[in-house]
Amino acid sequence: MATVEVEVEPQNQESCKPHGEMASDDPELAILGEKVDHKRCRYPYAIVWTPIPLLSWMLPFIGHMGIAMSSGVIRDFAGPYYVSEDHMAFGRPTKYWTLKPSKAKGGTRGWDTAVGDASEEYKHHMHNLFCDNCHSHVALALNTMQYDRSTSWNMVKLCFLMLIYGKYVSVCAFLKTWLPFLILGGGAVALALLL
């Protein structure tokens, strides 16, 4: 009888993430040599998303959003008068949506300038969960770079498009997003059936 050796990684935060995967099948990004690196949280030309505890458990399509520079470094409006760099509020991204730098006015330089300008602007904003938040910061960056020839980006549009186009970084990330909702929803249904 033949034996098969299987190498098992210890369970930790890093073991859920693949390493050095191409950002997409997009030849444009392959030519630029830009790669997604889940271990280092590098998502070049991407919008990233992570769940917000309690809020996302009840409404899993609502979460925290940031936008990455061409280098993959994430910028996110993390609280009043504060835009973080390379340390996303609420933890590592669970989803990302890679965009095309050629659709930004000015290409890569235009992308980075717009993300930088939006981040500087949001350092002067009070954070409001409902109307001036992390999604608004990303929308300002996209409007500034006139991404896809549009200046009508907003938080509702971004929420919807991330739901459609966002890719989960791993199975663990998918579970982190949806399992609390399923447990709470299942518990509510079970309780309703018992009463």
pLDDT, tens digit (0-9, with 9 covering 90-100), for 165-193? 999 999 999 999 999 999 999 999 999 99
**pLDDT confidence band for 79 (50 / 70 / 90):** very high
**pLDDT confidence band for 28 (50 / 70 / 90):** low
- Spell out the domain ranges in the chain: 19-184
- pLDDT of 21 above 50: no
State how beta strands 95-98 and 74-79 pair.
unpaired
Mean pLDDT for 57-83 is: 96
- pLDDT of 20 above 90: no
At residue 189, what is the residue type?
Answer: V
Mean pLDDT for 29-33 is: 51
- pLDDT of 75 above 80: yes
- Hey, is 186 helix, strand or coil? helix
- DSSP letters along 106-152, please? THHHHHHHHHHHHHHHHTT---BTTTBSHHHHHHHHHHHTTGGG---
Residue ranges of E strands in the chain: 46-51, 63-68, 74-79, 82-85, 95-98, 167-168
